């Protein structure tokens, strides 16, 4: 079953890269009491993700926050070390929090996985974005396979 607007996010544990090493983050704690713009990419360092998706949210961070977003987070079925390296490489800094979904538990719980085996990626999370208010999905934008339209920062700005 795929998550939809109005649903509460499932309980899961992300791993957040930090200067002192990987840190476990419970989803309920992360999303509690605030508005989070969350986006998912099929993989760190992949072409569209690195050229458009993450850079768009870095560029639009101030605008998203000016419209009531408390935090911007990116998730992918990658480990925390890869997500940390990608964040540094992209210059995400404090603009975007990386939440590694290393085993794909979050993507599976949402019902938003994809089979990237044809590209040597295995099971990954689909490309999507959502606005989460106090743990509840208020807006969900899932991309059609191979597309990058409705999960962008610009598209999300139009929804706030």
pLDDT in tens, the chain (160 residues): 799 999 999 999 999 999 999 999 999 999 999 999 999 999 888 878 777 899 999 999 999 999 999 999 999 999 999 999 999 999 999 999 999 999 999 999 999 987 877 887 768 889 999 999 999 999 999 999 889 999 999 999 999 9
Domains of the chain with bracketed CATH: 13-159 (3.40.30.10)
Looking at 25, 36, 44, 49, which residue is catalytic? 49
Active site residue 74: no
C-alpha to C-alpha distances, 133 to 33, 45, 64, 74, 121, nearest whole angstrom: 7, 29, 14, 16, 31
Q: pTM score, two decimals?
A: 0.94
């Amino acid at each position: 079953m795929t998550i939809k607007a109005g649903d509460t996010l499932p309980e899961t544990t992300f791993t957040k890269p930090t200067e002192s090493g990987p840190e476990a983050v419970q989803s309920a704690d992360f999303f509690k009491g605030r508005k989070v713009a969350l986006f998912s990419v099929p993989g760190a360092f992949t072409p569209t993700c690195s050229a458009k998706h993450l850079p768009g949210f870095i560029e639009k961070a101030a605008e998203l926050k000016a419209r009531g977003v408390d935090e911007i987070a990116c998730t992918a079925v990658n480990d925390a070390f890869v997500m940390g390296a990608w964040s540094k490489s992209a210059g995400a800094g404090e603009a975007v929090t990386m939440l590694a979904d290393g085993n794909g538990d979050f993507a599976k719980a949402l019902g938003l996985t994809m089979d990237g085996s044809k590209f040597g990626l295995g099971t990954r999370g689909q490309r999507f974005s959502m606005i989460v208010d106090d743990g509840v999905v208020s807006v969900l934008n899932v991309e059609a396979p191979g597309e990058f339209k409705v999960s962008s920062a610009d598209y999300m700005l139009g929804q706030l």
